[in-house]
Amino acid sequence: MRYLDADATRMALSMSDAIKAMEDAFGDDVEVPVRSLLGPSLFMPGRVGEQTGVKVVSTVPGKPFGIVAIFDNEGACAGLVDGPTLTAIRTAAGSGLATRLLARPDSRTMAMLGAGAMAYDQVMAIKEVRPIGEVLVWSRDKARADALAELVDGSAVSTPEDAVAIADVVSTATPARDPLFDAAAIKPGTHINAVGAFSPEMCEIPPVVVREAITFVDDLIAAGEEAGDLLRAGKSPDGTIADLLAGRNRGRSGPDEITFFKSVGIASQDVAAGAAALERAADLEIGSDIS
C-alpha cells in the first residue's frame, strides 16, 4: 500500500490528469452518500466505477488535516493520499473541466478572487483548458494577492471590479458571506467558477448574476443544501456537469451568455483524483510503501 504526502501527491497528479479524472468523478457511474460529521472530523465516502474511497478531514479552523483512502474492486486499500493537497487539486480540476465545457473558446483573461490555499491550483486549471494570457488577482490581503500574482505571472488589482470588468473567466475561492463584486461589473459572455462558499450562509456571487446565468453544479442534492450562492438567489440549477458530459444539456447557447459553475465538492472527485494519483505514483515509484 502506497502513501502519498503533499509533495508526492503533487508530483504524481498533474493538472491535466486531474481534469481527465473529473470526467469520471462527474459521470453517471458514481455514488456520493451523505457526508457525516463525527466529532471534529468530516467523513466523505464515494464510489467511482469499481473504486471506492473515503476522505476524512478536520473541521477545526486553521487545522487543515486530512487523508483520502482509496479501495480497489476487492475492497483492499490501494493507498492513502494527502487530503488537503488532493482537495486543492481536484477542486481546481473540477473548475477546469467546467471551464472547458462552458467558457468561450477564445477566453484569454482570468480574474482570481481570493489568494488562499485553493487559488494557485484554480489558476493552473483554467490555464490548462484556455489560452489565458492575463491573470488578475484580488484578495482582501494585499500581500497574499501580490504573492499569488507573482507566482502565476499575473497582476494584483485593488478591487474585485478591476479584475471582473475585463475577465473572460472569473474564479472565486473565498469564505465570503456577501457578494464579492458589483453585478454590473460582469461583462456579457463571462464564465464564472465559484468554489469558496460551501454553506447556506456564504455567498460569493451577486444574486442577480446567478439568476441571469445558465448554472451548473457538481451535485444537485449537495448544491440544494449547501450552495449559498444559489439559495440566496432562489436559483435552481439548469443542470450538472454530468449532464454536459453526457450531452443531456448543451451548455452555452451563445457568446454573450453568462455561464456559472457552482461547486460544493463531492467525494467522487476525491476517489477519482486519488486513484489517478496512486496509479501514476506507482509508475513513477514515488511515495512511501506502508504495506
Residue 110 confidence class, pLDDT cut points 50, 70, 90: very high
Q: Of the candidates 234, 246, 229, 222, which has an alpha carbon nearest to the alpha carbon of residue 170? A: 229
Handedness of CA 171, 14, 7, 89 (dihedral sign): positive
At residue 146, does pLDDT exceed 80?
yes
Residue 277 pLDDT: 98
Q: What are the counts of helices (DSSP H) followed by strands (DSSP E) for the chain?
A: 11, 16
pLDDT for the residue 199: 85
CATH fold group of domain 2-87+267-289: ornithine cyclodeaminase, domain 1 (3.30.1780)
Whether the model clears a pTM of 0.75, i.e. scores above it, the answer is: yes
Radius of gyration of the chain (CA): 18
Residues 6+ away with beta carbon under 8 Å from 284: 11, 12
Q: Does domain 94-262 have CATH number 3.40.50.720?
A: yes
What is the average per-residue pLDDT within 195-218? 94
Mean pLDDT of 94-108: 98
The span from the CA of 29 to the CA of 49, in Å, is 6
Q: What mean pLDDT value characterizes the chain? A: 95
Task: Specify the range with the lowest mean pLDDT, choosing from 7-11, 136-140, 220-224.
Answer: 220-224
Least confident of 33-37, 54-58, 167-171: 33-37
> Which residues are 82's β-sheet partners?
67
The answer to whether 135 and 149 are in contact (CB under 8 A) is: yes
> At residue 291, does pLDDT exceed 70?
no
Q: Is the pLDDT of residue 121 over 90?
A: yes
Q: Where does the pLDDT of residue 148 fall: very low under 50, low under 70, confident under 90, or very high at 90 and above?
A: very high
DSSP string, 141-154: SHHHHHHHHHHTT-
Residue in 136, 55, 134, 48 with CA at minimum distance from that of residue 88: 55
Taking the domains of the chain in order of start, what are their residue ranges?
2-87+267-289, 94-262
What's the pLDDT score for residue 226? 86
Mean pLDDT across the stretch 218-245? 93
Average pLDDT over residues 96-120: 97
pLDDT at 35: 87
Picking from 25, 224, 193, the residue whose alpha carbon sits closest to that of residue 114 is: 193
Tens-digit pLDDT profile for residues 38-65: 999 999 999 999 999 999 999 898 888 9
Residue 63 has a pLDDT of 87
- Residue 179: is its pLDDT beyond 90? yes
β-sheet bridge partners, residue 216? 239, 261
Could you tell me the pLDDT band of residue 114, with boundaries at 50, 70 and 90? very high
